[in-house]
Structure 1
Amino acid sequence: MTTLIRPEGPEPDDIRFSRRALATGTIGGLFFAGYAPAALAAQAAPIQTGDDGLTIEQTTVPAPDGFDLPIYVARPTGDGPHPVIIVVSEIFGVHEYIRDCCRRLAHQGYAAIAPAFFVRVEDPAPLSDMQRIQEIVGAASYEQVMGDISATLEWTSQQLWAKADKVGVTGWCWGGKVVWQACARFAVIDAGVAWYGRLAPAPTATPQQAAAGQPWPVDLADDLKCPVLGLYGENDRGIPLESVEAMRSALAAAGQTSSEIIVFPGAPHGFHADYRDSFRPEAAAEGWSKLLAFFGERLK
């Protein structure tokens, strides 16, 4: 098990291991059935959200590059229409934690849709090799990811159960950065909630790494087309508070007064991830409450 304290995965001195029996297999041939073994804590007792009253769908949508992009959909059963939330995973893809978050949102009246951004190369969910996972994630370029979101939005607009004029996006770690990027890219998105996504290059990033991560959220404040709520941890070793303050300054300079960043005292990176050692129940619950309030005000 790898203790993740950075959005894109660990550096060499971050890694430690423990043992746990893992769920394996696939769901409907599209998704790995269990929790990502690379980060699953030995003592984890993840939240398990049922699907009573929900309709669960696993299908594919045509991406701009011709790839059949797998998506996981959880929505309230019934005609709707329901406001939509695009759910962007961490580096492990659409494993059980991400699907559970979709079901949590669906129980709140949303149609939650999680695209599998990484599977063109390989599904990272069942893997334990962090180097291989990072290679897979690194192959998902900005334009590919934005294209996948565009394809998901287009497919959603054709669904009778979807309220296509009320769309949000949320994501964790790697997905938190994508939230900022998507809210700067797509005018159809009405609100975003970014969980501890990197805002600027890491202090140790090489010029090549900094260039590869563009566009960085700190450079996108002028381009945001909707309000974004950022949820960050004070003790996140991968996202220094200096970058959080830089993002706050960029938002203020751009006049983005409806966007906000909240820093949770003492919280590490990944504090919402209930299957990891980093899980902090109080901060996770408060963050989720703020997410629901933020989306509720703008999507319902």
Structure 2
Amino acid sequence: MCHTDVPHGQVTPAVDRREVRVPLATGEFMPGTLLTDGSEGPGILVAADIHGPSPFYDALAARLASAGYTVLLPDYFFRQGPPAGPDLESAFARRGKLDEARTLHDLDDACGWLAAETGSSRVGSIGFCMGATFTLDLASTRSDMVTVAYYGFPVPQSTLVAPPPRPVDLVESQRGPVLAFWGEEDRGVGLDHVRAYAGLAEQANPAFAYEILPGLGHGFLATSDIDDRTDPGGRTWHRVLHLFGDHLRDASGGTA
């Protein structure tokens, strides 16, 4: 299960939103929303799942913005346009048209743009499902990242039409703080791949940490109370906030 709607009872903070066009190396511009609370804090990129920048991700981005960060929610499906419908089948059909290796370069450009916008020496990223696969790749291809990955695919599915680089193939180059989460009941991601990836990441990167949550499946944050530290999913969210607080605040150039 991926994310589209804001969970029942979860309040989206009121923050400033600005539509932006992120320049890419191709000469194109990737659209996105920049969310802030007016404090000009360090930047965090939110990489959404197969549905793109849905209300769920806008709400999470607003939460991060209300914590003092400059948050970019890009639409990396901009070349494909909106899906034919709101159902998962339409989302998969649109994904089949996406060059995911090209998308990784687009997100790399977006991280560079966000660093320049905020004047920070480090950029945060948080990704979910296919978006988490991208953030794990970025943790291995950039040296300035503070990375969070929820249920990413260390080995992307063999059915993908134009897959991104496999994070497991890049893991020896992983750098910077990385925090990754998976659910123990996630049948699609391949827990054997997860454990193999985590073992290699621990050897390559002393700043890598991960958790496999018992009893939870794919997309568990969509059914979690992220305000409740006793909720397993909520506890992961508080770990995320601590990670960004510990490793982005000192890289903000004094503006946060």
* Fold conserved between structures, TM > 0.5: yes
- Distance in 1 between residues matched to 2:99 and 2:178, nearest whole Å: 22
Q: CA deviation at 1:152?
A: 1.9
Q: Which of 117, 123, 147 is residue 192 of structure 1 equivalent to? A: 147
- Which consecutive residues of structure 2, in runs of 5 or more, have no partner in the other structure? 226-230, 250-256
Q: Matched residue of 2:120: which SS?
A: strand
- Distance in 1 between residues matched to 2:103 and 2:149, nearest whole Å: 16
- Distance in 1 between residues matched to 2:153 and 2:111, nearest whole Å: 24
Q: Matched residue of 2:92: which SS?
A: helix
Q: Which of 238, 241, 246 is residue 188 of structure 2 equivalent to? A: 238
- Distance in 2 between residues matched to 1:103 and 1:287, nearest whole Å: 17
Query: How many corresponding residue pairs?
Result: 244
Q: Give 1 or 2 for the bigger CA radius of gyration.
A: 1
Determine if the alignment matches structure 1 residue 295 to structure 2 residue 250: no
Q: Which amino acid aligns with 2:114?
A: T
1:61–1:155 CA contact under 8 A, matched in 2: yes
- Which consecutive residues of structure 1, in runs of 5 or more, have no partner in the other structure? 8-34, 274-278
- Distance in 1 between residues matched to 2:169 and 2:66, nearest whole Å: 35
Q: Which of 202, 212, 215 is residue 266 of structure 1 equivalent to? A: 215
Kindly indicate which of the two structures has a greater share of residues assigned to helix. 2
Inter-CA distance 163–236: structure 2 relative to 1 (3 Å threshold): same
Determine if the alignment matches structure 1 residue 77 to structure 2 residue 38: yes
- Distance in 1 between residues matched to 2:20 and 2:160, nearest whole Å: 35
Q: Matched residue of 2:121: which SS?
A: strand
Q: Matched residue of 1:272: which SS?
A: helix
Q: Which of 53, 57, 60 is residue 101 of structure 1 equivalent to? A: 60
- Distance in 2 between residues matched to 1:123 and 1:64, nearest whole Å: 23
Q: Matched residue of 1:193: which SS?
A: strand
- Distance in 1 between residues matched to 2:8 and 2:160, nearest whole Å: 36
2:21–2:30 CA contact under 8 A, matched in 1: yes
Q: Percent identity?
A: 25
Q: Which amino acid aligns with 1:171?
A: G
- Distance in 1 between residues matched to 2:166 and 2:11, nearest whole Å: 34
- Distance in 1 between residues matched to 2:177 and 2:81, nearest whole Å: 33
Q: C-alpha deviations, 1:97-151, integer Å up to 9, x for none?
A: 1111111001111111011001211223x82343332132233323321232233
1:271–1:283 CA contact under 8 A, matched in 2: no
- Distance in 2 between residues matched to 1:152 and 1:194, nearest whole Å: 17
TM-score by length of 1: 0.74
Q: CA deviation at 1:291?
A: 0.5
- Distance in 2 between residues matched to 1:119 and 1:128, nearest whole Å: 16
- Distance in 2 between residues matched to 1:258 and 1:153, nearest whole Å: 20
- Distance in 1 between residues matched to 2:175 and 2:144, nearest whole Å: 9
Q: CA deviation at 1:271?
A: 0.5
Q: Which of 117, 121, 124 is residue 165 of structure 1 equivalent to? A: 121
Map 1:1-300; keep pairs closer than 5 Å: 4=1, 36=4, 45=8, 47-51=10-14, 54-78=15-39, 80=40, 82-124=41-83, 127-159=85-117, 162-189=118-145, 191-202=146-157, 205=158, 209=159, 212-254=162-204, 256-273=205-222, 279-281=223-225, 282-300=231-249
Q: C-alpha deviations, 1:221-272, integer Å up to 9, x for none?
A: 1111222110110111112321221112211342x12101111110110011
Q: CA deviation at 1:186?
A: 1.7
Q: CA deviation at 1:210?
A: 7.2
- Distance in 2 between residues matched to 1:115 and 1:175, nearest whole Å: 11
Q: CA deviation at 1:46?
A: 5.5
